[in-house]
Amino acid sequence: MNDTATDPIIKVRGLVKSFGTHIVHDGLDLDVRRGEIIGIVGGSGTGKSVLLQQIVGLLKPDAGQIEVFGENVRDSSPEEYRDLRRRWGVMFQDGALFSSLTVRQNVEAPMREQLDLPDDLRKTLAGIKVRMVGLTDVAQTKFPSELSGGMRKRAGFARAIALDPEIVFLDEPTAGLDPIGAAAFDTLIGQLQATLGLTVFLVTHDLDSLHAICDRIAVLAEKKVLAVGTMAEMLEVDHPWVQEYFHGPRARAALATKGER
């Protein structure tokens, strides 16, 4: 293992990605620190989810380097990539659960793929993960179509932590939730990050989430990471989109809500 406690757990350098003639990223650089919650924000089409998918190896960059745990994701062998995948978990938008499997079976799926465990032990571990995200034992036997949007997201989070990962990638986890449900999910992220020692890569547009749980924020604009820093540092960035995003009416409302907590 090449990574150390002081090295970035994720290191992106010179990333280039295009789809046809449309350039999404052009020379993007980003470091993610071990144990932090970093929020990835940007306008529509800036490639927030595309960045996540490149880091976890679902999309291939046109150029540049991505290192996770000190290992080059692009150049890893199938065996090395399999080992890397065991060390991170991903929650896609709306949970992206298998519709034909129950909640518990969805959480068991990564264990079946990656671990050689007895059936009883695998079921027990899956049940523990489901309870860790605040779902009841009854929910374990339900199918995704029988769950509310918030419950599907929690089930997706349970699957993301099924293998006890060091990093979790969360793609718009509070999108579509009412304010109470979104705040509860933010609290869950913060609690599990602290309890499990996770590094959290959070793609979001939710200003409340940025205020509530993020240690740092990375702003995607102009095909790269325009700025990265704390919320206080974001408020000082002199760029039109950043100023509008972090000083607009919704930002002021989010700041007021934070002050009430």
Residue 255 lies in a domain: yes
What predicted TM-score, i.e. pTM, was given to this entire model?
0.91
**Digit-coded pLDDT (tens) for 179-221:** 999 999 999 999 999 999 999 999 998 999 999 999 999 999 9
Total number of domains in the chain: 1
Residue 150 sits in a domain of what CATH number?
3.40.50.300
Residue 76 lies in a domain: no
- The confidence score (pLDDT) of residue 1 equals 43
**Digit-coded pLDDT (tens) for 53-76:** 999 999 999 999 999 999 999 888
Residue 31 lies in a domain: no
Residue 22 lies in a domain: no
| Residue labelled with tokens 């960045």 | 51
Q: Which domain holds residue 139?
A: 38-59+89-260
